[in-house]
Amino acid sequence: MKARILFSYLGIVLGSSLTALGLVAFTNPAQIAPGGVSGIATILFYALGLNPGLMILVLSIPLFLIGLRIFGHAYGIKSLLGTVSLSLFTSLFLKLIGPYGVLDMTKDLNVLLGAVFGGVVMGIGMGIVMRSGSNTGGTDIVAQIISHYTPLSMGMALTMVDGLVIAVSALFFGLQSALYAIITVYITGISIDKVVLGIGTNSAKTVYIISSKSEEIQAEILKVLERGGTVLPGKGMYTGTSRPVIMTVISNNQISTLKSIVYRLDKSAFLVFHQAYWVMGEGFAHLEADKTGAS
């Protein structure tokens, strides 16, 4: 258990360092603000000359405190570590690499490369942080607060928040830069999912859980993840033992939390994750009639 905790903390630090590297080496020099607090920090860097690393910390800490008040233990030491690490590594890499990055951003092709590789590196870093059971703070918390108090899903809320940051960046850097930022956000999402699950992006995941601690896991899913589910009857092929099967649908960013819950309650539990390409209903997209006329 101690080794597992240590590796999770190391994962947060490593992932935060990669996220900072992608920001300093590629997106910030290209004047690309791909949403989030890092995007706001990029805008403030070029508009007011403020240090991006310091701005990430200044903007994230109040949001972290708000999240801590609303969600309680869901925002503990790991989330704070992710936020502080991202800020420190951003400042460190800014001193080592400089504000101009590793490419000549006066060339349009290099700006495109900055958008692509920035998305890849930051996505890998954020994916490692998420797999370690944490986040890098910032607008992730804003999105979760919006999702908590409105019918919007976490994914939709995050898209809206990042979209607002990108729209503001268009006023400072121009439409072309905002379009590059959209490319970065898309690639970041793909990279995150590749790291977290090893597959492409999807809106959600269907999860089947077989455990002797079924009732305890159900209670945690309802309380911590705020998700419902269905309990299906099951019977072991080898043992013949009857055991309930939990079926639930969760957002991509909740995968690490769910795995931690199950591992804590029952280390011998069996989990199966499926890609959910289209999820409609409470907590996800609103259930609507098929407008194509198909029956």
pLDDT tens digits, one per residue of 97-108: 999 999 999 998
Considering the domain architecture, whether residues 120 and 234 belong to the same structural domain is answered as: no
pLDDT at 82: 86
- Residue 291: pLDDT band (50, 70, 90) is very low
Choosing from 162, 196, 230, the residue where a domain stops is 196
Contact between 204 and 250 under an 8 Å Cβ cutoff? The reply is yes
Considering the domain architecture, whether residues 189 and 242 belong to the same structural domain is answered as: no
Closest C-alpha to 94, from 16, 21, 173: 21
Read off the tokens for 246: 């939990």
Considering the domain architecture, whether residues 209 and 190 belong to the same structural domain is answered as: no
Considering the domain architecture, whether residues 159 and 232 belong to the same structural domain is answered as: no
Q: Does the residue 295 lie in any domain?
A: no
| Averaged pLDDT for residues 35-44 | 91
Q: Does the residue 7 lie in any domain?
A: yes
Domain interval for residue 257: 204-276
What does the buried/exposed string (b/e) look like for 145-182 if buried means 16 or more CB atoms within 10 Å of the residue's CB?
bbbeeeebbbbbbbbebbeebbeebeeebeeebbebbb
Considering the domain architecture, whether residues 25 and 137 belong to the same structural domain is answered as: yes
Q: Does the residue 85 lie in any domain?
A: yes
Is the pLDDT assigned to residue 229 strictly greater than 50?
Answer: yes
Considering the domain architecture, whether residues 181 and 254 belong to the same structural domain is answered as: no
Considering the domain architecture, whether residues 45 and 185 belong to the same structural domain is answered as: yes
Per-residue pLDDT tens over the stretch 244-281 = 999 999 877 788 789 889 988 998 899 998 877 666 66
pLDDT at 287: 54
Q: What is the largest CA-CA distance in the chain?
A: 68
Choosing from 196, 223, 242, the residue where a domain stops is 196
Q: Does the residue 66 lie in any domain?
A: yes
Task: Reduce the secondary structure of 198-267 to three states and give it as a string.
Answer: CCCCCCEEEEEEECCCHHHHHHHHHHHHCCCCEEECCECCCCCCECCEEEEEEEHHHHHHHHHHHHHHCC
Q: Does the residue 239 lie in any domain?
A: yes
Read off the tokens for 7: 């590796």
Considering the domain architecture, whether residues 117 and 254 belong to the same structural domain is answered as: no
Q: What is the CA radius of gyration of the chain?
A: 20
192 compared with 253, residue with greater pLDDT: 192
Q: Does the residue 283 lie in any domain?
A: no
Q: Does the residue 285 lie in any domain?
A: no
Per-residue pLDDT tens over the stretch 139-149 = 777 777 777 78
Considering the domain architecture, whether residues 96 and 147 belong to the same structural domain is answered as: yes
Read off the tokens for 1: 């258990």
pLDDT at 198: 57
Q: Does the residue 291 lie in any domain?
A: no
Range of lowest pLDDT (2-6, 49-53, 120-124, 263-267): 2-6
Choosing from 196, 231, 265, the residue where a domain stops is 196
Rounded percentage of the chain residues whose pLDDT exceeds 70: 85
Considering the domain architecture, whether residues 28 and 139 belong to the same structural domain is answered as: yes
pLDDT at 127: 85
223 compared with 78, residue with greater pLDDT: 223
Question: Looking at the 3D structure of the chain, how many domains does it have?
Answer: 2
State how far the Cα of 129 lies from the Cα of 127, in Å rounded to an integer.
5
Considering the domain architecture, whether residues 185 and 251 belong to the same structural domain is answered as: no
State how far the Cα of 182 lies from the Cα of 109, in Å rounded to an integer.
16
Considering the domain architecture, whether residues 183 and 213 belong to the same structural domain is answered as: no
